[in-house]
Amino acid sequence: MIKAVRGTRDLLPPETAVWNFVESVVRDVFRAYNFQEIRTPIFESTELFARGVGEETDIVSKEMFTWEDGERFDRRALVDAWRRAHAGKSFEEVESYSPGEGITELECFYDETHVAEIVMFSTRADEAVLNALAEAVSKFVGPPSHFNHFSETVRGRLVVPSPVPANSESMTEDGIVIEKLHGAFHKSSQSLTLRPENTAGAVRAYIQHDLEKRGLNKLYYIGPQFRRERPQKGRYRQFYQIGAEVIGPASAGSESPARDAELLEMLATLLDRLGITGWTLELNSVGTATDRSAFNEALRKALDPVKDKMCGDCQRRAVTNPLRVFDCKVPEDQPIIETLPRISQFLGEDSRKHFEAVQEILKSVGVPFTLNDRLVRGLDYYTRTAFEFTHGALGAQNAILGGGRYDGLSEALGGPAAPGIGFAIGEDRLVMSLQESAAAKDVVRKPDAYVAPLGAGMNAEAARLARELRRQDLVVELGDETFRLKKSFEAATKAGAKYILIVGENEVKAEAFALKNLATGEQVSVARAELARSILSSS
Ligand code: HAM
């Protein structure tokens, strides 16, 4: 049996109803706060994440699904190798154009014997390429023209890569020399990565589509993300995020603490609407780039005498990106990490004021939070406000969502200055914490009625009736005329239908149907026109 790959999973009904419920509540909340949806590709160039999320982060250095997207013929490498192989001869690149598909270069040269050659470089010596070369040669032979600046014989030469480790030359019947050159004439076209998160992609799209022109962008996304983490409860290799980004030029207010507070208040509303209680909002400021460079310097100093006692990752991070030491999960390293300086001691005046303003608004709107100056988040782009919502019921993987400001990210990706703030909820974890709550129990809508055709020729009548009922917003399951009555009852019960509706010849004639409540066993005959109302009024 072929199974789903470790760390991935199938979401099956009825659980998918909970996912749909979550997503519809979330979309409603986003609408109320004037967020609009963005959908970015599931894979991006690797460089986006390396530059956006940071080379030293666990995500980029260990967890990405990255591949080289095929190999491409490197024509230039072949031309250069050929030039080197013929370094003793004098030749000149007279023309260069691409005469057809698969043919990449046309050159002419004279050697000392005054035999002119038209040299073509291609991946293979197939008929199309040889024909094109023969045609090119024929243009140079014959009466003088603006093309024909050769006075001697003109010959065609086709240079192709050789799979065997030796160079060779052969000649076709038409006198075309085929030269095979051994070497590496392929380059990998591009490195691609399945997105491990969506902020870098959203900011890339912001830059690419000049969204700056729109002022403040309030974007949200729902979709799968991929990280090669060790799978466990609440941690998957394909997981789903519901995220949002508020980004725009500073002139549009993107830097204001009001944006941070609004986002956090929206999250509190969202969790409340979903019926999730018992969450904790942990809040910190990781400072501006300037604050952080002072902090990193202090960390480097503090780590220098102790780093040798730490894990290999930390020893490396202590030099390259000391902030990332806080991501360390190795238990033996924790006492050392505990003694390190804290970012709160390095916040400049601006960061401090910004952070205080965020807290003030949160207090005024009644969103509870706790300050945690150990919280630095595992992605490099964060500046100033950083936060996580945790939930007790989740166990070890208790971070239900995380986010923060990333005021320099757009510039790091080559875009304009565009302060921003966002978050991503782990939808898998959100659904897990919901399943324990009562709200989730009511989200699956079972069929209101099971329409059971009874006897030959009744499928058509049953289909007509089901269509009428479904048009009146009923959830209807449809049986089959080959089922005996007993089997129809069993199928209706299995589907969880409230009622079974028998459609037999007599019923159709009478325009009235036997409607039986499957829970109580009570049965009534109801006129066709009254059926939907009768069923809906009872639920
Ligand atoms: P993050 O903290 O890496 O932030 O991920 C956000 C949330 O995604 C986590 O809190 C967790 O609930 C969920 N999550 C992460 N990894 C997994 C996994 N392997 N399995 C299940 N759930 C997981 C970001 O991704 C940032 N892009 C958030 C952001 C948006 N910051 C600013 N804007």
* Whether residues 382 and 416 fall in one domain: yes
* Whether residues 132 and 83 fall in one domain: yes
* Whether residues 95 and 110 fall in one domain: yes
Dist. CA 312 → ligand 1 center (Å): 25
Tell me, what's the pLDDT at 111?
A: 54
Q: Is 354 in the pocket of ligand 1 (CB under 6 A)?
A: no
CA-based end-to-end distance of the chain:
43
Tell me, what's the pLDDT at 145?
A: 47
Tell whether 169 is covered by a domain: yes
Per residue in 5-38, pLDDT (tens digit) is: 999 999 999 899 999 999 999 999 999 999 999 9
State which of 57, 65, 379 you would mutate to test the pocket of ligand 1, scoring each by most atoms of that ligand within 8 A of its C-beta: 379
Tell whether 248 is covered by a domain: yes
Question: Among candidates 86, 140, 132, which has minimal Cα distance to 116?
Answer: 140
Q: Is 259 in the pocket of ligand 1 (CB under 6 A)?
A: no
Dist. CA 199 → ligand 1 center (Å): 10
C-alpha separations of 285 from 114, 218, 230, 308 in Å: 75, 22, 29, 29
Tell me, what's the pLDDT at 96?
A: 47
Tell me, what's the pLDDT at 333?
A: 94
383 phi/psi in degrees, rounded to 5: -135, 150
Tell whether 345 is covered by a domain: no
The identity of residue 375, as a single letter, is: L
* Whether residues 125 and 158 fall in one domain: yes
Tell whether 217 is covered by a domain: yes
Question: Among candidates 454, 458, 514, which has minimal Cα distance to 485?
Answer: 454
Tell me, what's the pLDDT at 86?
A: 82
Q: Is 422 in the pocket of ligand 1 (CB under 6 A)?
A: yes
C-alpha separations of 126 from 101, 132, 167, 183 in Å: 11, 10, 18, 20
* Whether residues 529 and 426 fall in one domain: no
Boundary (domain end) residue, out of 187, 222, 240: 187
Question: Is residue 428 within 8 Å of 240, Cβ to Cβ?
Answer: yes
Mean pLDDT of the chain: 90
* Whether residues 125 and 61 fall in one domain: no
The two beta strands, 154-162 and 177-182, are parallel
* Whether residues 268 and 379 fall in one domain: yes
Report the atom number in ligand 1 closest to the C-alpha of 400: 12
CATH at residue 506: 3.40.50.800
Boundary (domain end) residue, out of 142, 168, 187: 187
Residue 239 makes CB contacts below 8 A (sequence gap 6+) with 224, 225, 226, 227, 426, 427, 428
Tell me, what's the pLDDT at 397?
A: 78
Question: Among candidates 294, 279, 334, which has minimal Cα distance to 311?
Answer: 334
* Whether residues 122 and 59 fall in one domain: no
The two beta strands, 103-110 and 499-503, are unpaired
Tell me, what's the pLDDT at 133?
A: 85
CATH at residue 48: 3.30.930.10
* Whether residues 180 and 215 fall in one domain: no
Q: Is 427 in the pocket of ligand 1 (CB under 6 A)?
A: no
Domain carrying residue 214: 15-65+195-280+370-437
Tell whether 211 is covered by a domain: yes
Tell whether 288 is covered by a domain: no
The pTM is what? 0.80
Instruction: Please identify every stretch of the chain with a pLDDT value under 70, giving residue numbers as ranges.
Output: 88-115, 140-152, 436-441, 539
Going 171 to 177 to 178 to 179, the CA torsion angle's sign is positive
| Count of beta carbons in the 10 Å neighbourhood of residue 499 | 27
Report the atom number in ligand 1 closest to the C-alpha of 403: 31
* Whether residues 53 and 176 fall in one domain: no
Q: Is 390 in the pocket of ligand 1 (CB under 6 A)?
A: no
Tell me, what's the pLDDT at 494?
A: 97
Question: Is residue 276 within 8 Å of 430, Cβ to Cβ?
Answer: yes
Tell me, what's the pLDDT at 377?
A: 93
* Whether residues 89 and 166 fall in one domain: yes
Tell whether 363 is covered by a domain: no
Q: Is 243 in the pocket of ligand 1 (CB under 6 A)?
A: yes
Report the atom number in ligand 1 closest to the C-alpha of 429: 12
Tell me, what's the pLDDT at 444?
A: 83
At 363, list the tokens. 């207090």
Boundary (domain end) residue, out of 156, 187, 218: 187
Tell me, what's the pLDDT at 110?
A: 57
State which of 48, 58, 194, 197 you would mutate to test the pocket of ligand 1, scoring each by most atoms of that ligand within 8 A of its C-beta: 197
Dist. CA 515 → ligand 1 center (Å): 50
Dist. CA 134 → ligand 1 center (Å): 60
Q: Is 399 in the pocket of ligand 1 (CB under 6 A)?
A: yes
How many structural domains does the chain have?
3
* Whether residues 60 and 76 fall in one domain: no
Tell whether 351 is covered by a domain: no
